[in-house]
Amino acid sequence: MRIVVPWNAGGATDVISRALATAMAQPLGQPVVVDNRPGANGAVGAQFVASARPDGHTLFVASAETHSVNPLVYSRLAYDPVAGFEPITVFASGPFALVVRSGLGADTLDAFIRLARSRPGQLTYASWGIGSTSQLAAASVIQNAGLDLLHVPFTGAAPAYTALVAAQVDAMFMNAGPAEGLARDGRVKILGIGSPERVPLLPAVPTLRELGMPLDAANWFALLSPARTPQDVVSRVATVAAEALRTPAVQEVFRAQGILPVGLPPVETRAFIAADRERLAPIVRSLNIRLD
């Protein structure tokens, strides 16, 4: 069995997918390998899996980018995010942390909002690309608080993080794992976390909801198989994945990355993805994002 990850090796999606694959191998009685197929905001890997044989031996790690955002920002996709896949499980949620550069002079969310309102159009926020989940998370805060910030998109998370640490940009939403490391070294200040509850990696960081901003900012990760995969195979893989999420080894990897295990069954996974796409649609429309 192979699990296709549509991103480069070494990122958070790759790390947690490899942990899950290792834990699934023994109960499935076969090797489970991760196959990285990056490109086109996840579309390369998604197309590959959608056209694979539906026998349960090729799975896909979907996320908000591949199944919520891409259908909204591309007029044509090489894969059908709904009809092309069988949902297996949403296995993880990756909350984003709202961070600001050191020396900005805003150590709380309220202070940041006051500063941004006093300097309309002057503060900047980074993202790892136009139409990325980091941009959409920031846009939600901007709209909620009535702010005017300048978006500075980068070609990936790493250069965006570098720019923030170098004080070339003022703020961004980043994955909780990297945020914790940078904050521990004093290179950024974390203002809030975009999950419904506080995360174990950052127990002292309040959620945006606690701070009076009623929104979530996170990515999600799901296992999907090609359409027409037999339901007994889908159920078996979902059960094994749920068991893998409870193993100490997987939980430790997830915790270090700031990732929360989930484990939705197939029917709920389908409904979750549809609801997330509907949630993001008005944000994408308001920003008039088109990538083709």
Where does residue 129 rank: exposed (0-12), middle (13-18), buried (19+ CB within 10 A)? Answer: middle
The residue assigned the tokens 């909002």 is 113
pLDDT at 292 over 80: no
| Of 60-69, 163-172, 282-291, minimum mean pLDDT range | 282-291
| Average pLDDT of the segment spanning 48-77 | 95
| Average pLDDT of the segment spanning 206-221 | 95
pLDDT at 260 over 80: yes
Residue 291's pLDDT is what? 86
Q: Which long-range contacts (CB under 8 A, 24 or more apart) does 139-147 make?
A: 139/283, 139/286, 139/287, 140/215, 140/217, 140/283, 141/98, 141/208, 141/213, 141/215, 141/217, 143/283, 143/286, 144/213, 144/214, 144/215, 145/113, 145/116, 145/213, 146/117, 147/113, 147/116, 147/117, 147/120
Residues 6+ apart with CB under 8 A from 232: none
pLDDT band, very low/low/confident/very high, at 31 (cuts 50, 70, 90) = very high
Residue 25's pLDDT is what? 97
Q: What is the pLDDT of residues 118-173, one digit of tens each?
A: 999 999 999 998 989 999 999 999 999 999 999 999 988 889 999 999 999 999 99
Distance CA 49, CA 60 (A): 6
pLDDT at 185 over 80: yes
Question: How many other β-carbons are positioned within 10 Å of the β-carbon of residue 98?
Answer: 26
pLDDT at 201 over 80: yes
Residue 155's pLDDT is what? 85
CA 170 from chain centre, in angstroms, equals 21
Residue 8's pLDDT is what? 86
Q: What is the pLDDT of residues 86-128, one digit of tens each?
A: 999 999 999 999 999 999 999 999 999 999 999 999 999 999 9
Report the alpha-carbon angle 41-47-49, nearest 5. Answer: 115
pLDDT at 203 over 90: yes
Distance CA 278, CA 185 (A): 38
- Give the tokens for residue 10: 């070494």
Where does residue 49 rank: exposed (0-12), middle (13-18), buried (19+ CB within 10 A)? Answer: buried
